[in-house]
Chain A
């Protein structure tokens, strides 16, 4: 196993596209790091640069103790699982898995023994003679994993390996990949644009946007303490709710003035958040996770806000209430970039509405909470969990 270090790594394509900007990222031996971000953010380019499939324009890549910039893919001792698996269609499952060993000119008996043990590990023993086209999506995915595993490489690279599977299979395979990685302890870089995968799989997450690293750290840290509006909005499902508010101080208390309502924060709030003091009198973006928007009848101790229920989704264990808040929406470029990733046409619509657009939010209520469409819902906001962001820079105010 080996560590991987990217120092000031950039990628500029021949047409001038700057895909990755001065990326610094260290992946420790045996660590599982997830690169996440919307389409076109440069995450696959980073992976391909580590794999030797893309030249590094500037900076230094180290795998183990070797500088790998000039090494070809076969000299890097890495294995890669591709998004569409790239199984050789003319070869059987056995031959696909055996391919890396044959390239190493391993002897027949060893190839047979290792392919069979890898197939056993992945539950593919019965399919060894079949061609990839006769396998289900999940089985193909396993074959691709097998081909990567068999060589016992220093580093695993995985490029959205689950994106072609249906939801059930995806969650099953997610578990299997995590288990395998823990068992084998191979350093793994995993690319995805599904933030649920990012949250559940990695020891660490690195969020990219337009080729720039936005934040990296443990999944929980990114969720709770996002560095900027982009990470706040990208990590979490449903995402962090955002609205605009002007900060004011009245009678020693911080008041967030919204359009038509106000949110009074507890006394001494500014003492615990010194940086927020500089924003008094200015407009900021306020962020709150859906689980920190409570039903005020059940949790009366929190600062309150009124919202109008637009949609109520009953999910068994909880109810997700979609609300319109008496505040303006946050439509900065960071937020629009996240929206664009899953609903591109909506971006124009949001942009057209401009500052007049009211903020919408999703609250996670208990399953027995009462809320119906059209109701005015009294919300309790967990003050300690509120996050504040600079509207100009998008940076978190900590």
Chain B
């Protein structure tokens, strides 16, 4: 293996790569500059930097439309996302543990069913689901939406958890049984903590999917006071079609919590994908 030498060519190559990567920053540039611009500069200077920073765009955007503030929408999004993730983690990990550790046709069949669930487009069942949920009074409610997302994302959660549990040495569980722990205690105290990387992955993926989802939320929550951020921003576009600075400010408010979560959980996410537990 030769020693790595940093030459002018290396520098050039790096610079080129940085420039190519910078293309991905262009939408963010517009998002940030437009959200900080006064309204009169939107058409006179659309791509330049704002002449002065207009933070009031954010407070105006925060007011929201139709009596639902962005604060309310943020709360709804947070409740639905957190509720769904909690259910996905608890049910998904237990279910995957049983599938991975129980040998036999039942668990193989169950696993196949879950994988099948990832492949089938949920839109196929949308109308019956909607009709049923309205009938039982779950449409437009937090529990209903949480139940829906939990069901839709459970195949993915079970798939990821099962793969991870299968690679987890059985020794830890066997040691716990011999040490006198029950099955449930073994799962809670020994297995579940070892699933942390994949739990982070499931939480991360589910958060991104649920937080950003527009389709289900607009169908199941429209008309209720429990509007989520994507639906609220959408209503915003309708009302302030000419005031892109307010729309962009609302978009930034929407993506900030997610961005923070992503930065926080990135390491766990990578670990979860690469798998394995180090003793």
Contact = CB atoms under 8 A, between A and B. Distances in A.
A147 B172 CA distance: 13
Interface in B242-279: 277-279
Contacts of A132: 279
A84 B169 CA distance: 10
Given A82-B171, A86-B172, A103-B185, A52 B177 contact: yes
A222 interface: no
Nearest to B277: A89
A89 B177 contact: no
Contacts of B182: 74, 103
Chain B interface size band reads: 20 to 34
Contact of A73 (B171, B178, B189, B193): B178
A49 interface: no
Contacts of B40: none
A248 to B, nearest CB: 57
Nearest to B103: A14
A278 to B, nearest CB: 50
Chain A interface size band reads: 20 to 34
B171 A84 contact: yes
Contacts of B238: none
A84 B279 CA distance: 9
B95 interface: no
Contact of A99 (B179, B193, B194, B279): B179
B208 interface: no
B65 interface: no
B178 A51 contact: yes
B42 interface: no
Contacts of B177: 52-53, 72-74
A306 interface: no
Among B171, B180, B196, chain A packs the most CB atoms within 10 A around the CB of B180
A74 B181 contact: yes
B279 A151 contact: no
Interface in B172-190: 172, 174-182, 185, 189-190
Contact of A53 (B172, B178, B279): B178
Contacts of B277: 89
Given A72-B177, A100-B180, A103-B179, 5 more contacts: A74-B179, A82-B174, A89-B278, A103-B180, A147-B179
Interface of B: 169, 171-172, 174-182, 185, 189-190, 193-194, 196, 277-279
28 contacts: A52-B178, A53-B177, A73-B174, A74-B177, A74-B181, A74-B182, A78-B178, A79-B178, A82-B171, A82-B175, A84-B171, A84-B279, A85-B279, A86-B174, A86-B175, A86-B279, A88-B175, A88-B190, A90-B196, A99-B176, A99-B179, A103-B176, A103-B181, A103-B185, A133-B278, A147-B175, A147-B179, A157-B178
